[in-house]
Amino acid sequence: MKYTGVLFSTLLSTAAVAENLSKFEITYIDEPGKGAFSTEPFTTSDGTETTLGEHRQALLAHVTRAVSLQFNHGPIAHKLHVEFDVWEGYAATTLGPAYSEVMEGTMTDEFGVMQIGSSYPGTLVSALLSQDYQSDEDALVSFMPNIATFTASGDDKHPSFVYAAYHEMMHVLGFGRTDCLGNCLPEPVSRDGHLSPYLFYNDDGIIKEFESLSMEKKTDAYLSTDNFWFGGSPASRDAARAELTSGHQDGYVYMYATPNPDTGSVDGQAGSHFSFDVQPAQLMYSTNARTEDISMAAYLLCDVGWCRNQGKVIEQSVVASLNENASSDTETVIDIVVQENLNIGVDEFVLNIRPDAAIQVLSLEDPDSLCVAVSEGYQCKGQLLPLAQIDLRLIVTPAEQYVIDGEIYSTGFDVDRNGFNNILDTKLVKAKEAEPNQPETPTSTAPTPAVQSNESGGGAFTFLLMPLLFIAFLRRAKLKFY
């Protein structure tokens, strides 16, 4: 293989996760006192006093931990350079990782994913080969430094920064392209890549494979609103038909392919995002959508190689809660519920439960004998049948509060749609009794809606194409660096 370029997106984390999980390494490249190193005082939503820089780093660590639970990266630690300095008008942009072209006589993966003559993102190559396959230039992600993006607002569950970082990580894992079409200098470029076998162009009712098109027709596809499609595996098309209320034709999902309103030429974010016609809202819109469910992006990433021809798209979750009805003066019951939410099933999950050292654990009720005691708490392994639920009970002595951390993940090559649901970390406090004649305030359990913002979600670009794209972006939107 040889390196042919590099693609943009976000990744990496300093958060400690369970042994054998994916690892990410972040190098912050901001100047002292700025960005990730800002010493400006900051108060988090739970009242914790910290600095803005530390808060930024903690949020990114949380996002990358979620992603580490969604994808089986293998033993490789993926590297990323991060800064809080982005092109004006963007929530985030990412360059990297390196794209590699499979050449005759070079190593291919045991799963048969990589094909001779096509290019693959280095992150995926590392996972497929279980080898450190980095280029000399690690991926670089730039985020908006605006303080308002680091605090949740309105109905949002997370600060907008979290959604932007989540979006960019999907790019770095392969939700991207190997083209520069339209007004590219010195000339347009298009190479077969990991995604191109799954792209199609509806040319006046004739469905054509993107790889078979001329450069002119490929450009037409990038300009053809609602006629540039992702057509994945049968499972992906079935999911699109079942889940999407609009934005697909018989399971072929519309990609973002809209002429730039200022120039009439190819928009710089075309081909690496979903169309806004795709509903419900998608994390991989070209502007920031507030959703934890990566939705159709999970199927795209599964198809291009993350499932290694053996996995599937899953959605599992774990949650802990106090069961005050089952508790007494001498013991407290903490219910831990594992669920499969997608009617697909999980062949094997691993659940780690780590009670805080201050918690005095009396026992763990485990009806199916899935769990064993380990040095930090418990590790449970089992199978989740479609829409199944597993109930565990942690019995502890009464205390002021109960802090537990842990996570759940698949041991296979599955892609999990929501990594935030896989994080168990929680602080539980007994509810205060209502004052006499003062009814308790009901707690809403309505789901948080996904809201689309006007901020750009960032693009995915190869280093090879950066001179072309930079000029194209400047012409298109008069972009500049902060």
Report, as an integer, the average pLDDT of 317-346. 96
Question: For residues 457 and 92, is the Cβ–Cβ distance under 8 A?
Answer: yes
pLDDT for position 364: 97
pLDDT for position 434: 57
Reported confidence tier of residue 8, pLDDT bands at 50, 70, 90: very low
Report, as an integer, the average pLDDT of 412-419. 97
pLDDT digits (tens, 9 = 90+) for 61-77: 999 999 999 999 888 88
pLDDT digits (tens, 9 = 90+) for 193-250: 999 999 999 999 999 999 999 999 999 999 999 999 999 999 999 999 999 999 999 9
Q: What value does the mean pLDDT of the chain take? A: 85
Q: Where are the domains of the chain?
A: 2-290+451-477, 313-429
pLDDT for position 88: 78
Report, as an integer, the average pLDDT of 297-304. 98
- What DSSP designation does 294 have? -
pLDDT at position 1 over 60: no
pLDDT at position 173 over 50: yes
Give the strand pairing for 77-83 and 139-143: parallel
Q: Is 5 helix (H, G, I), strand (E, B) or coil?
A: strand
Half-sphere exposure of residue 136, counting CA atoms within 13 Å on the CB side? 3
pLDDT at position 448 over 50: no
- What DSSP designation does 203 have? E
159's tokens: 């600060």
pLDDT for position 459: 56
Question: For residues 188 and 215, is the Cβ–Cβ distance under 8 A?
Answer: yes
pLDDT at position 137 over 70: no
- The class of domain 313-429 in CATH terms is mainly beta
pLDDT for position 457: 54
Tell me phi and psi for residue 325, to 5 degrees. Answer: -70, -35
pLDDT at position 283 over 80: yes
pLDDT at position 3 over 60: no
Question: For residues 132 and 78, is the Cβ–Cβ distance under 8 A?
Answer: no
- What residues form DSSP beta bridges with 346? 384
Q: Which residues, including other chains, have CB under 8 Å from residue 353's CB and lie 6 or more apart?
A: 336, 364, 371, 377, 378, 379, 380, 392, 394, 404, 406, 424
Report, as an integer, the average pLDDT of 332-348. 97
pLDDT at position 79 over 90: no
- CA distances to 9, 170, 297 from 95, rounded to whole Å, are 6, 13, 19
pLDDT for position 105: 83
- 230/199 Cα distance (integer angstroms): 5
Reported confidence tier of residue 435, pLDDT bands at 50, 70, 90: low
**What DSSP element (H or E) covers 172?**
helix 160-172
pLDDT at position 150 over 60: yes
pLDDT digits (tens, 9 = 90+) for 368-381: 999 999 999 999 99
pLDDT for position 379: 98
- CA distances to 69, 81, 236, 279, 373 from 341, rounded to whole Å, are 16, 35, 17, 20, 27
Crossing angle between the packed helical segments 160-172 and 52-68, to the nearest 10 degrees: 50
pLDDT for position 466: 41
Lowest mean pLDDT among 205-219, 228-242, 290-304, 420-434: 420-434
Percent of the chain with pLDDT over 90: 65
pLDDT for position 136: 47
- What DSSP designation does 307 have? T
Percent of the chain with pLDDT over 70: 84
- What residues form DSSP beta bridges with 382? 349
Number of helices and strands (H, E) in the chain?
A: 7, 30
47's tokens: 């009242």
Reported confidence tier of residue 403, pLDDT bands at 50, 70, 90: very high
Report, as an integer, the average pLDDT of 405-415. 96
pLDDT for position 191: 87
pLDDT digits (tens, 9 = 90+) for 23-72: 788 999 999 999 999 999 999 988 899 999 999 999 999 999 999 999 99
pLDDT at position 481 over 80: no
Reported confidence tier of residue 451, pLDDT bands at 50, 70, 90: very low
292's tokens: 């934890």
